[in-house]
A and B are shown apart, each in its own frame.
Chain A
């Protein structure tokens, strides 16, 4: 049973536009959410996180939105750049417990 779901395996976005990556979760006990970016043959890189007490967290071009009632979070990247092409993993955890990852969404930034 997948507790963290990324239903879009891939997404293509024009350079300069906004990229929106979505994630749904089923465990209402999750209280910490993270996004990671991964290039092929490399380990994931931490991007941004959000605690369940917030509904938005922004860091430069990256903003994460959390909708607890819908058990949904999203990552917005604006403006999208060629170097943003990668696989993005949504992840969630209950405090002090392991992080559960989604299967990832491959983002293609088109020139």
Chain B
């Protein structure tokens, strides 16, 4: 199956700093990538949809100035958490969609962010 990687797998940072998370599709081109945040009780919340070469589409309630998304190429999307606060501590997961398998999304392994 299609492979998606994320880097870093975990990060600890001080409150007020910015953190960048990378999401790469390793063996396919992803015109669309998605960023999710996992909340307690295992639910996945879609934060934004990222299309290569265009601005990301953010879900209601997600601050676009706080969670900066860039989809610079067909294999790379980045999420930058700006001025991170302890409440931003969470598990962030990206996914990429490939046409090879229909509308199936393939997920990265996730990034654990802890803001002190």
Contact = CB atoms under 8 A, between A and B. Distances in A.
Interface residues of A, number: 25
Nearest to B2: A46
A87 B42 contact: yes
Interface in A87-102: 87, 89, 93, 95-96, 98-101
A49 B46 contact: no
A16 interface: no
B109 interface: yes
21 contacts: A9-B41, A32-B103, A34-B104, A34-B105, A38-B42, A41-B91, A42-B110, A43-B95, A44-B95, A45-B107, A46-B1, A46-B105, A46-B107, A87-B42, A89-B42, A98-B34, A98-B46, A101-B43, A103-B41, A104-B41, A106-B42
Interface of B: 1, 4, 6, 34, 41-44, 46, 49, 91, 93-95, 102-110, 112
